[in-house]
Structure 1
């Protein structure tokens, strides 16, 4: 059923027709939105640090891995968006059709992951604020404040406002990261040479991380939900979604390349090592201050905050939408109701007002505050690591299953290119999964 009045984005979509499959006559840049949201959410401070470290160790040599990573993510997010638009069913509804094991995995994952991620996101958002305003409040206090601000913002605003704020944050991220890369002076010849696939000694894990890790999280699964929340609910929006998705991962690619340049030019040549995790960006701020002065360092910290806080509110919104759909699908199954028009429930904006959506918002915010004052319990760290490592292989392989089956209209099933790219993504994420599990502190 196509909606012809107000979309989940709170805007009138005059371009839609009355029938199933109707949408705008052609794709246009003016529709872009969910791609910006997924780019802002998927690239966190930890991703930027991982890219910096790869650049500091190997210079421009792994530039090719960043380019391949963009292609992999475009294919994966396109598949998630295509499922929503082609079938009129949400991704979780598709997972449910594969068996109850998917429900069990997702239920445990979303509870444990949300508990630990909430604390991580709040701390990451607080770090640059503490660096910008030293001595004024402390890290834990700022972390709690950022979590509460994210909660209030998402609680009282629906997708239209959320998208606009995320667009501003992406703009800040983009300008700052590209500006810093320009300041350090990229070597264009070395950058182009880095597009030739080469694996230096000891670079395999960094290569896999660049291809699969940066911008690749649960937010890729949330992309289809943001597509629906924008008001795109049928296959008539397929061309628009594909353009939007390409914008998302080209933007992500620019972030990755810019940070590789900074790592290669600023750190590799001077043999400077960064701390792992989000604190590595504070180290980079110190290096920038020594090299270019306090103004550049402060500007970088503003970009650091935009990167971290956009991931926070992106997860607060996107994963809460997924959880609301999870609860709604479970409720309908218990009542024996069918899955018809499931995307309409997201597009209408009702999901963002629902009790499950707001309950998960509270779960992401308040229980994790306790982790800010405690070392993470050993068992929780293990569970978080294992469940998180399995999510991306789970997403890639279930999309292959769904989009090659009779659950998807024949016109929109996977072609050879989609199958090859999704299979490659699945194998890549399995390799990353094995490595992540091996590195856990068993």
Structure 2
């Protein structure tokens, strides 16, 4: 990965520090891109809503969710390191029908991914700049996200995603520290920090486990690992550190949001059940710390959503282009001609991702499309876990890359959990 040009002072010290810092950050590019993409508005709302109702009582659930998602992401990275072929090509080696299932799920998620996020990002901007027209702002955000994904290859993508991750994680940590310091009863943070399921919290707990750390991004991570140049067993330690940094950052983000929710929402009767209600936090923040902190919170909110759009656009371009290549049985030796940025199929998928939300925005959201998105997303993780159990066991991969028994246990438990959530989501959608 290219480094930014060094700036040398008279003694040469500044250059050494800046170059060294960039080298250290660059080691964790795919993981920080994963963190910035997988943390979205839903995580903001669920963490604040959970803290508003139960204080720090659901923090342990976030820890469980992060551990599970780390195991799945590490498995995704190991599978990619098992050979030069792409993730979807490896999945197709189980059976081409399995690849078709992924193709259908990914196609649906790709179609609808940006439809809601664009309007949420526009909402965040409107909270900072009242009076912004919603529709033109949404269109502009989607077009800008598409343009920066189109603009460069992986090294460029990694740089701006690392930048987004630094802004969003530092932003929420600073706000959490300020909010905790201003609490009249800071002991509430410790008093509500329990390992239990408070009455009525089970749905919120399951939602947090399923949502924290993303779902499709776990598969996308394998493509970013591949583009990073980590292509064999020799990069195993780097990949594991990278994934650990990603989920460490995600855990810090969720913990910080839980502190903010406990400090500003818990016991007040205020509810944060959707993105629009996040504006309710603006008043208390401004009253306590001034307009600068209020604006900082909404800047963080915007970066959280925008980074999810840009990262998702990039990742789904890889995945859908590769799904199409695999089901068309195009040889793995030609993969980069189809799935690399700026290649025709990658660009076509990106254009489709940009246009689809705009069409949906002007034509409404047909119930069938929303239903298909929810169900395909719910079943994506169980399918992926099955692939990890099959492909990373036995003699398919080198001994160092095989699932150890603790990982197998977590994968099996994940399959049961996410399978149950998928069935529950399907029943709820059709039942409603």
TM-score (norm 2): 0.89
Query: Do structure 1's residue 355 and structure 2's residue 351 form an aligned pair?
Result: no
| 2:29 corresponds to | 33
Of the three residues 315, 324, 340, the one matched with 1:318 is 315
Query: Do structure 1's residue 373 and structure 2's residue 366 form an aligned pair?
Result: no
Deviation of 1:212 after TM superposition, in Å, equals 2.4
Q: SS in structure 1 opposite 2:265?
A: helix
Deviation of 1:207 after TM superposition, in Å, equals 1.3
Q: SS in structure 1 opposite 2:82?
A: helix
Deviation of 1:10 after TM superposition, in Å, equals 5.4
Deviation of 1:412 after TM superposition, in Å, equals 1.2
Query: Do structure 1's residue 264 and structure 2's residue 259 form an aligned pair?
Result: no
Q: Show the 5 A alignment for 1:14-413.
A: 31-136=27-132, 138-185=133-180, 191=189, 196-274=194-272, 276-331=273-328, 333=329, 337=331, 339=332, 345=336, 351-413=340-402
The 2-side partners of 1:144 and 1:430 are apart by 36
Q: Is the CA contact (8 Å cut-off) linking 2:103 and 2:324 kept in structure 1?
A: no
Deviation of 1:196 after TM superposition, in Å, equals 4.5
Deviation of 1:140 after TM superposition, in Å, equals 1.2
Give the number of the structure whose residues are more often helix, by fraction. Answer: 2
The 1-side partners of 2:2 and 2:229 are apart by 8
Deviation of 1:69 after TM superposition, in Å, equals 1.4
The 2-side partners of 1:216 and 1:180 are apart by 23
Deviation of 1:180 after TM superposition, in Å, equals 1.4
5+ long unaligned stretches in structure 1: 1-8, 12-26
The 2-side partners of 1:385 and 1:408 are apart by 33
Q: Is the CA contact (8 Å cut-off) linking 2:82 and 2:232 kept in structure 1?
A: yes
The 2-side partners of 1:176 and 1:93 are apart by 39
Q: Is the CA contact (8 Å cut-off) linking 1:325 and 1:351 kept in structure 2?
A: no
Q: Is the CA contact (8 Å cut-off) linking 2:264 and 2:281 kept in structure 1?
A: no
Bigger shift: residues 32-41 or 293-302: 293-302
> CA 1:114–1:30 in 2, change beyond 3 Å: closer, same or farther?
closer
Q: CA RMSD in A?
A: 2.4
The 1-side partners of 2:385 and 2:407 are apart by 11
Deviation of 1:191 after TM superposition, in Å, equals 4.8
> CA 1:435–1:61 in 2, change beyond 3 Å: closer, same or farther?
same
| 1:416 corresponds to | 405
Deviation of 1:245 after TM superposition, in Å, equals 0.3
TM-score (norm 1): 0.87
The 2-side partners of 1:438 and 1:57 are apart by 27
Q: SS in structure 1 opposite 2:256?
A: helix
Number of aligned positions between the proteins: 410
Q: CA deviation digits over 1:98-119, x for unaligned, max 9?
A: 2233232222222222222121
Q: Is the CA contact (8 Å cut-off) linking 1:316 and 1:364 kept in structure 2?
A: yes
Deviation of 1:324 after TM superposition, in Å, equals 2.2
The 1-side partners of 2:87 and 2:59 are apart by 32
| 1:4 corresponds to | none
| 1:18 corresponds to | none
Q: CA deviation digits over 1:31-53, x for unaligned, max 9?
A: 11100000000000121101110
Q: CA deviation digits over 1:162-181, x for unaligned, max 9?
A: 11111111111112111111
Deviation of 1:87 after TM superposition, in Å, equals 2.5
| 1:426 corresponds to | 415
| 1:16 corresponds to | none
Q: Is the CA contact (8 Å cut-off) linking 1:327 and 1:356 kept in structure 2?
A: no
Deviation of 1:341 after TM superposition, in Å, equals 9.1
The 2-side partners of 1:405 and 1:340 are apart by 26
